[in-house]
Amino acid sequence: MIIDVMEIQKIIPHRYPFLLLDRVTDINKGESLVGYKNVTIGDNVFQGHFPGHPIYPGVMILEGMAQAGGILAFKSMDNMTEEEAANKVVYFMSIDKAKFRSPVRPGDKLEYRINVIKQKGAIWMLLGKAYVDDKLVSEAELKAMIVDK
């Protein structure tokens, strides 16, 4: 199942310049998601991180993982109608064991691979990994909750 950026914007509330997921290429409800962000020199963050030596910030990689995890959680809730989903939002409760293994630069395709560790009711525990050219660049455990807006 491919989810393009227009559909992503129907699921999560983020918008430019803070929408950090361009496409979902694979989703297994309640299990896993694969999506990506194309990192370009046109991203606003490179104006200050770092001039003359652009590195995509680790916190933005984590936020991209979180957004992908939110889509996985929403798409996994089979009993939720589109109208109900419009009145919900995903809040992240914690990010643990975050590691940054290699810098991400303009021109990279940042691929997010999200797996469900555990889910109970509205609470989701996820393992997020980010890759560039199949090389692990970052990983973290994410805990989130779906709540009313």
Catalytically annotated residues: 49
- Return d(Cα 9, Cα 13) in angstroms, integer: 6
Instruction: Report DSSP state, residue 45.
Output: G
User: Which structure tokens are listed for 86?
Assistant: 């419009």
C-alpha radius of gyration, the chain, whole number? 15
Cα–Cα distance for residue pair 24/119, rounded to 1 Å: 21
Q: How far is Cα 142 from Cα 114, in angstroms, rounded to an integer? A: 10
